[in-house]
Chains A and B, each alone.
Chain A
Amino acid sequence: MNPTLVILLVACSVAASCALLGSFLVLRKMALLGDAISHAVLPGIVLAFLFTGSRAALPMVIGAGVLGVVTVLLVEMFNRSRRLREDASIGVVFPALFSLGVILISRYASQVDLDLDCVLYGEIAYAPWDVLTFAGREVGPKALWVTGGVLLFNLALVGTLWKELQLSTFDAGLAATLGFSPVALHYLLMSAVSVTVVGSFESVGAILVVALLVVPPATAWLLTERLEHMVGLAILLGIVSALGGYAFARWWDASIAGAMAMVAGLLFFAALLLAPGHGLLARLLTLRRMGGRLSGQLLLLHLQKGGAVVPAALLERRFGWSRRRLEKVLAPLRSNRLVEVDGDGLHLTESGAKVLESTGRAQLAHKL
């Protein structure tokens, strides 16, 4: 198989798996638990290595899965003891487990064929060359089988439990009363995250898998209001990041996985700035529009109270506005013929008075 195609397929299936599960992590405010798991599975992987003496996928997945669940259990145990808060629980558990893994690797370096740098950022470029043999025949790159298998597993899981996941994510209380166990779902999701992390480990490493778990879903959440759209968009964004990252890494001769995280980050910051509705720019514009409308209403009320003609200078002093600000507030009022300028003063027009009358002072005050 064409090596480039293998790399792209592996990258895309990792990205899709991560985006699928990551959407639920982000919505459940558990992004950092995913981060913790991605570090804490390391000793599980190393132990699987030491016991089996090989890079066989199944023991590694099992070892990592066990450690993932252990992480979640430990974090929750510390939480429940009420001696540590959740952030601190996470912050003490995963470094300890990761340290254990690093020490195991250093001590048994001769038996463990794991490069420490690869643990952090993987080496997807090797994916095409590690070929799986089955019944004496080569059946294609191992990474493709592993990541493809993980993707199918995740699709099956989320597809089967869609309704349950959706409900327990948005309304855990209702889910519990309807008889779905939020705890069971929580652990199922965390196990799936562990499996995904270990499946992605060799390709993108412990930290960049976090980028794929968190960044595309967070980007998607800024862009849509519906869960199914968010998940779909997250997968799409993940794949775009994977492809874009590959192209960039090839061009600049750098780590593919790192570039994937970088592209995902660029997409995120673009969405953070420009997303309609939830983007910073949109929010800023809304705030300004609301501020402008508010100022207009203030001005109208003031003119009504002040009587016939109110000098502009008085208004400026009273509101602490500059001349430019006053002009800006006035512009829409004048073009709608609610206010007229009379020399140095302002007064309400008949229609302006009518508008005030019809909206009603109480309503206006309420709006203010």
Chain B
Amino acid sequence: MDLSFGLSYTARNVLIGATLLGALGGLMGSFALLRRQSLLGDALAHAALPGVCLGFLLTGSKAPLPLFAGALVAGLLGALLILTTVRWSRLTEDAAIGIVLSVFFGCGIVLLTHIQKLPGGNQSGLDKYLFGQAATLVVEDLVVMAVLGGIVALAVLAFYKELKLLAFDPGFGASLGLPMKRLEVLLTLLLVVVVVVGLQTVGVVLIVATLITPAAAARQWTDRLGSMVLLAAAIGALAGVAGSLASAVVPRLPTGPVIVLVSSCVLLTSLLFAPRRGLLQAFLRERAVGARIRRENLLKDLYLQGERSGSWTEAISWTHLMGVRGQGSRELDHTARALADEGLVERTDDSLRLTPDGLCAAESMVRKHRLWEVYLTRRLELPSDHVHRDAEAMEHALTDRAVEALDALLDFPATDPHGRAIPRRRAA
């Protein structure tokens, strides 16, 4: 089988590495996101740097394994320090993360610059861990990534139920007798492994985005952990593919930042367009509710004017209706047209009139309003001059069934607290 996909050796390695990392990041990032520990990954990545340097200093080799081991130990130490600081001092989590992140990174920079000034140290190539140089990935790195990634994926699979509890309700998990503290350590350990795996590809600074951004995007599409984890892994992998291909094709385009920007674009798209949680959906829903309220208000305005003049068959002038709520003619026209389409009003060039169906609908609105006013004054004993505004809001929310129950509860009142008649429901 041809595994080169028509790419050069380097580009193929980058593609495989970035895809692998994207999927792993999405997987573990989902748990970090749900546990509100988005920035823990950031701290762990920074904390791993001195470990990489120490691994090199102690073994004198650039082989992936000792560097991985060093990063792992330093990352875990960083996590431990954050936990200790938050648990035992007055400092809050943000400060603890900031401290570990910057101090460990500072130590890493000290070691790094020291190594660079050692004889022969310039070739150590450790600074690729800062920004990541995916192009330096060799097959040996990929093997280590794949093995560690496989272990992480297996561990998540094996402890899926426990990790789910940890993410959503650790208290309940503890009451079931599960060792939640140990699970927390396990989760942090897995997070450190993924962070360390990603260091070479995207670098210390941008790791956090490979964890959080795909997970945050996936969260917009689903409420189930299983699908969120899979989707986040897919988005991460996709960003990895897109980023590595883009940087292979376009000269002087670094892989890591492109991966981050691709997944950021996916996140923005998800925030805007995801069904149910999407901001566009929310906006449309809100607009639809607003339009309905305006329609119902117009019906009511027509009814009230008819009530005043004693006849609901008269046409009511455009200018009068515009004056009632101070709306513009375009807005009013829009609302009136919608009502006309429903057959509730007849519109002419300068006036509106309720049809029999429209009168029915308008009566229902006024009935809800006035019954609610009665309820507020009689049952909740609010002064009658304070109930109008509540009723204005409630009339749009009450269902027909609720309003009949309310009517019965109030013993079928004939008038509202201001003495105006409550329209009775007509026999259809």
A interface vs B, CB < 8 Å?
Answer: 26, 29-32, 34-35, 39, 78, 81, 83-85, 87-88, 90-92, 95-96, 98-100, 102-103, 106-107, 109, 116-117, 120-121, 207-208, 210-211, 213-215, 218, 221-222, 248-249, 252-255, 257-262, 264-265, 268, 272, 278-280, 283
Contacts and interface: CB of A to CB of B under 8 A. Distances in A.
26 contacts: A83-B277, A84-B271, A87-B36, A90-B39, A91-B209, A91-B212, A91-B216, A92-B216, A95-B260, A98-B206, A99-B257, A100-B257, A106-B252, A117-B127, A120-B205, A207-B46, A208-B105, A211-B99, A211-B106, A214-B102, A249-B110, A254-B114, A257-B109, A261-B102, A261-B109, A278-B90
B61 interface: no
Nearest to B103: A265
B90 A26 contact: no
Contact of B39 (A91, A268, A280): A91
Contacts of B277: 83
Given A32-B98, A215-B99, A96 B260 contact: yes
A95 B206 contact: yes
Secondary structure of the B contact surface, majority rule: helix
A272 B271 contact: no
B140 interface: no
B253 A103 contact: yes
Given A32-B97, A95-B206, A221-B90, A88 B212 contact: yes
A210 B102 contact: yes
A214 B267 contact: no
Contact of B91 (A87, A96, A222, A261): A222
Contacts of A116: 130-131
Interface in B22-71: 33, 36-39, 41-42, 46
A30 B213 CA distance: 21
A84 B212 CA distance: 11
B271 A32 contact: no
Contacts, number: 206
B112 interface: yes
Contacts of B252: 106-107, 109
B174 interface: no
Contact of A98 (B91, B205, B212, B219): B205
B329 interface: no
Contacts of B33: 88
A106 B102 contact: no
B373 to A, nearest CB: 34
Contacts of A214: 95, 98-99, 102
Question: Which 9 pairs across A and B sit closest by C-beta, in order of nearness?
Answer: A261-B106, A265-B103, A258-B109, A95-B209, A99-B257, A211-B102, A214-B98, A91-B38, A31-B98
A218 B99 contact: yes
B186 interface: no
A144 to B, nearest CB: 23
Contacts of A218: 91, 95, 98-99
Given A91-B211, A106-B254, A254-B113, 11 more contacts: A32-B94, A95-B205, A95-B260, A103-B254, A116-B131, A117-B130, A208-B109, A222-B89, A255-B113, A259-B110, A260-B106
Given A26-B95, A87-B39, A88-B38, A252 B114 contact: yes
Given A31-B98, A121-B109, A207-B105, A90 B91 contact: no
Interface in B246-273: 252-254, 256-258, 260-261, 264, 267, 271
Nearest to A248: B110
Contacts of A249: 110
Nearest to B42: A91
B208 interface: yes
Contacts of A222: 89-91
Interface of B: 33, 36-39, 41-42, 46, 84-85, 88-92, 94-95, 97-99, 101-114, 117, 127, 130-131, 205-206, 208-209, 211-213, 216, 219-220, 252-254, 256-258, 260-261, 264, 267, 271, 277, 279
Contacts of A280: 84, 88-89
A134 B114 CA distance: 37
Contacts of B104: 265
Nearest to B85: A272
A215 B102 contact: yes
A207 B45 CA distance: 12
Contacts of B42: 35, 91
Nearest to A213: B98
A40 to B, nearest CB: 11
A34 B98 contact: yes
A41 B84 CA distance: 31
Contacts of B98: 31-32, 34-35, 210, 213-215, 218
Contacts of A30: 94
A85 B36 contact: yes
A102 B254 contact: yes
Contacts of A26: 91, 95
Contacts of A103: 253-254, 257-258, 261
Nearest to A258: B109
Contacts of B213: 91-92, 95-96
A218 to B, nearest CB: 5
Contact of A262 (B110, B131, B220): B110
